[in-house]
Amino acid sequence: MEGNDGPSGTRITTFSISSTAILRVAAALCLAGYVFVYAGGRAETPIRSDGFSYYVYLPSWFLFHDTTLSAVARDCCGGVFPTYTAIIRWPGTRRWVNAHPIGVAIMQAPMFGVAHALTRWTNLSADGFTMYYQHGAGLSGLLWIVAGLVVLRRIVRRHFSDSVAAATLLTILLGTNLYHHATFDSSYSHPYSFFLFAAFLDLTETWHAQPRRSTSILLGVVAGLIVLTRHTNVMFLLFFPLYGVVSAASFRARLAVIRREARLVAVIGIVATVVVIPQLAIYYQATGSPIISSYGSLGFNFGSPRIVGVLFSVQKGLFFWSPLLLLACAGLFGLARSSHSARAFVLPAVLFLVANTYVIASWWDWQFGASFGHRAFVDALPVFAIGLAAFFEWSGRNPARRHVVTSVVVIAIALNLFQMLQYWNGVLPFSDTTWDQYRGVFLKWR
């Protein structure tokens, strides 16, 4: 990093590589990591664990022309889905109910189409699970993360210099578990939510700058997909009404804008509802009710949330495994006390992060099973990125501070990548890591 003058004349942190070049580097690194994981046999096939149940709709709909999942169950598994798939027979109807909704499958559909055409061309078995389908699903997650970074760059560039945007993108990708989800676990829902959150922030900002019908339709589509990808992420939609609210007066002004543009707000709501309807129809077909708890008896313990566990524990603590996100929180705090244009994001960001943490900490399996770091927070990384950019801008104003922050970031990224490789190689446990286990393998390859 080097110093230069920012848009406001202040001396800020700079990166000698532009943010567009960082995007190209990010795409290349993700692709190289993906090849490293699968060519080296570090992971099983991409469609595995939760990735199976997110994806299984595609072969069911397009290859077996069946919305009940029964035909694909017969073909893949002799009629009964294995326990790990979290696809259960609904008591009463005995029909299959998938714990995971259809959003990921919808966003995987383009790559599924390519994979299916190649499968026919090479004469592989067109059952939805042979090689091209596997890597179509795997690469789909990777591509949506790169697309999310592209959108995130656009948001960050609106408020910060190019060098701050470059440093932010690189840090979010390599200093958190985002890179892991672009490569090792790319078939899970988190790459898709990462893109959708970035897109929703971008469209929200565009809409509030100039409300248009086209932006409203896109907002509706993205809002619907956010709910279809992970139902609890419906909380993220509060960014739309709360964007730009920094005081009681600005809140009243925001309400006035929403009232004035009621027709366009209705367009957003109608489009989002239309996008969500197929999921309700699937639930209705399987259970006789359009709204259900698809996890069956598994659910939330709202009375005893594991807040400290999800934030700081060695098992899966967000800040234990991605400590650089503490800088993002400091950046959001700094923005709240400033008159910076990115301050418009702070109130909804804080409310969402608090509510999201509470919901994640209340889930019966607060570690969210196997993952490097806490995977439930990957969705929210675009929000953290805004805080991180603010922190980088602040730190760049003072050369001594800039050098300290640069050193800390570089060390934290190196540690993160090393620990990610430990996880890939089975040195770090998939979940339930203890302090003794962590200390025992700290900075060790084996």
Segment interacting with other proteins, rule: CB under 8 A, options 76-84, 286-294, 396-404, 428-436: 76-84
| Contact with other proteins (CB under 8 A) among 109, 131, 415, 417 | 131
- Output the CA angle 384-389-394, nearest 5 degrees: 125
**Residue 423 burial by Cβ neighbours in a 10 Å radius (0-12, 13-18, 19+):** buried
**Helical pair 381-395 and 162-174, crossing angle rounded to 10 deg:** 130
Give the nearer residue to other proteins in terms of CB position, either 127 or 261.
Answer: 127
Determine, following the binding rule CB under 8 A, whether residue 217 of this chain makes contact with other proteins.
no
Segment interacting with other proteins, rule: CB under 8 A, options 128-136, 234-242, 338-346, 361-369: 128-136
CB of 56 to other proteins, least distance (A): 13
Determine, following the binding rule CB under 8 A, whether residue 83 of this chain makes contact with other proteins.
yes
Give the nearer residue to other proteins in terms of CB position, either 51 or 103.
Answer: 51
Structure tokens at 66: 């069946």
Determine, following the binding rule CB under 8 A, whether residue 52 of this chain makes contact with other proteins.
no
Determine, following the binding rule CB under 8 A, whether residue 130 of this chain makes contact with other proteins.
yes
Determine, following the binding rule CB under 8 A, whether residue 75 of this chain makes contact with other proteins.
yes
Give the nearer residue to other proteins in terms of CB position, either 45 or 338.
Answer: 45
Segment interacting with other proteins, rule: CB under 8 A, options 78-86, 102-110, 326-334, 396-404: 78-86
Segment interacting with other proteins, rule: CB under 8 A, options 127-135, 218-226, 340-348, 397-405: 127-135
Determine, following the binding rule CB under 8 A, whether residue 121 of this chain makes contact with other proteins.
yes
| Contact with other proteins (CB under 8 A) among 25, 36, 127, 231 | 127
Determine, following the binding rule CB under 8 A, whether residue 440 of this chain makes contact with other proteins.
no
Segment interacting with other proteins, rule: CB under 8 A, options 115-123, 261-269, 288-296, 381-389: 115-123
Of residues 293-332, which lie at the interface with other proteins (CB under 8 A)?
none
Segment interacting with other proteins, rule: CB under 8 A, options 79-87, 192-200, 291-299, 404-412: 79-87
Give the nearer residue to other proteins in terms of CB position, either 125 or 214.
Answer: 125
Determine, following the binding rule CB under 8 A, whether residue 76 of this chain makes contact with other proteins.
yes
| Contact with other proteins (CB under 8 A) among 10, 18, 93, 122 | 122
CB of 73 to other proteins, least distance (A): 8
Beta carbons of 342 and 440 less than 8 angstroms apart: no
Structure tokens at 406: 């640069």
